[in-house]
Structure 1
């Protein structure tokens, strides 16, 4: 019974989230970003201003359909146990974290269209990217248990500066995978990230001729 109640609450929350998002997109397309306010979005969605901020921290997030990123435990465990080399492994982890801030599939497409129509929204997407990179960087430093660190000792750099560089490079790979083929990224981001990682690895470590 408790699981059923939790499922019903989650479904209602997703419904309210989508209603606010749809209202924000409708108003911005009709009036423009500057003329659209949190109050007007809340009124269109038939929710209170307080309820709006329970779902979105800014009107830009409501328009983009984005939320603060977080690190899923399943993706962290996959990172630790993965057989991939450390660069594609980190890029996949970062992409997974980034995906928590937005809807996959159609959500990617709509967000791309809104950013294209209103370039000023790009600043808000950068905030989420930086937050995701920080989450991954912190995890590499703080969350690896001794036995996990031992497993990755031959791959993961110990120097914090090098770990930061690894995360930044993973971010570059993820952005390349998205910009190279946004449709493929929306449909199968894991494969897109792995392929992009292979390209970057070949550039960073070219074969000897």
Structure 2
């Protein structure tokens, strides 16, 4: 089996497991659904399930978007200001979602709102996302990965995105949502202006 075919088969299995899990969680609830039930619905063995997702929580928590967003940010023209590059990179990824991917994402977000153990793990994932995004922002600013300014900018971006996008958006992200984030960031900059030396 060639490497490309192997990777496509793995991606198909991963998607089948996740789709089966989301369907069962919707039908019978997260707590009532077992890994064995998910594996059976996806037509894989429990051991195969655990090769893709170490725990039941991980089938909800794990997504494939972060690496795509980092790559999309890197692909923005070098002349693009860093905040614009981040917002456009995210927009490029989300604009490419299929209807099925949006349905899956909506189910994920709904589970985060109602399952406490998932919400707790999601908070840790948000911190991991800050590290990832700070790294690519530092690259674009041509500063060290641990640069305080790059990390502060990342924190502002993530904070505004959490405030404006995730809690309220049930229908998926749209271009005007990213415009709202851009406007909010401008407002943040204006309010911080009195702090400038």
Taking structure 1 as the reference length, what is the TM-score of the superposition? 0.66
Question: 1:66 aligned to 2:63?
Answer: yes
- Relative distance call for 1:23 and 1:9 in structure 2 (3 A) is same
The residue that corresponds to 2:105 in the other structure is 108
The secondary structure found in structure 1 opposite 2:33 is: coil
The secondary structure found in structure 1 opposite 2:57 is: helix
Question: 1:125 aligned to 2:122?
Answer: yes
Name the CA distance, whole Å, in 2 between partners of 1:17 and 1:56: 9
- Relative distance call for 1:57 and 1:98 in structure 2 (3 A) is farther
Name the CA distance, whole Å, in 1 between partners of 2:18 and 2:56: 9
The residue that corresponds to 1:135 in the other structure is 132
Q: CA deviation at 1:110?
A: 1.6
Q: CA deviation at 1:134?
A: 0.6
Name the CA distance, whole Å, in 2 between partners of 1:133 and 1:122: 17
Match of 1:200 among 185, 190, 195: 185
The residue correspondences of 1:1-209 to structure 2 (distance < 5 A) are: 6=4, 9=6, 11-63=8-60, 66-67=63-64, 69-70=66-67, 72-78=70-76, 80-82=78-80, 84=81, 86=82, 88-89=83-84, 91-92=86-87, 95=90, 104-141=101-138, 143=139, 149=142, 160-179=147-166, 181-183=168-170, 186-188=172-174, 191-205=176-190
Name the CA distance, whole Å, in 1 between partners of 2:9 and 2:25: 24
Which whole-Å deviations, capped at 9, do the CAs of 1:132-189 have from their partners, x for residues lacking one? 2111222344x45xxx73xxxxxx89982222111111101221231365146x242x
Q: CA deviation at 1:78?
A: 0.9
- Relative distance call for 1:158 and 1:198 in structure 2 (3 A) is farther
Which whole-Å deviations, capped at 9, do the CAs of 1:45-95 have from their partners, x for residues lacking one? 22123322343343123145635832543421317432x4x4x33652784
Greater RCO (Cα-Cα under 8 Å, separation 6 or more): 1
How many residue pairs match? The answer is 187
Name the CA distance, whole Å, in 1 between partners of 2:129 and 2:79: 21
Which whole-Å deviations, capped at 9, do the CAs of 1:100-150 have from their partners, x for residues lacking one? xx9852233222222234243222332332222111222344x45xxx73x
Structure 1: state its 5+ residue gaps: 150-155
Q: CA deviation at 1:10?
A: 5.1
Taking structure 2 as the reference length, what is the TM-score of the superposition? 0.69
Instruction: Determine if contact 1:21/1:64 at 8 Å carries over to the other structure.
Output: no
- Relative distance call for 1:197 and 1:167 in structure 2 (3 A) is same
